[in-house]
Amino acid sequence: PATAAARPAAAPSVDAMQLKQLKEEVDDLTRQLGESDAVMSSLEKERDFYFNKLRQIEVVCQDNESIGTVEVSRILEILYETEEGFAAPDEDEEQ
């Protein structure tokens, strides 16, 4: 005869109300995740927009650096400053 210790434990039962609450929680979290993804996508597009604008300004400054009508060195210094933890995208990712 098998002992009680040898028998597998019965899986805990979840009543219908708990199951419904858990499904609602999963649905809510799935909705929140979708909203977060949409916000993240929007922020990435905005980031790319401003990065490209700055890149264009950088090119203009580099092209006009020899003219010397603007303090180009200071403008370039500001453009190259980054916030701590920020990394510029690779050249391959820009295109």
Instruction: Count the domains in the chain.
Output: 1
Among the ranges given (14-18, 63-67, 70-74), the one the predictor scored with the smallest mean pLDDT:
70-74
Answer whether residue 72 is part of any domain.
Answer: yes
Answer whether residue 34 is part of any domain.
Answer: yes
* Domain containing residue 37: 16-94
% of the chain with per-residue pLDDT over 70:
71
Answer whether residue 1 is part of any domain.
Answer: no
**What CATH code is carried by the domain that includes residue 31?**
1.20.5.1430
pLDDT tens-digit profile of 2-30? 565 666 665 667 788 999 999 999 999 99
HEC secondary structure over the chain: CCCCCCCCCCCCCCCHHHHHHHHHHHHHHHHHHHHHHHHHHHHHHHHHHHHHHHHHHHHHHHHHCCCCCCCHHHHHHHHHCCCCCCCCCCHHHHC
Answer whether residue 2 is part of any domain.
Answer: no
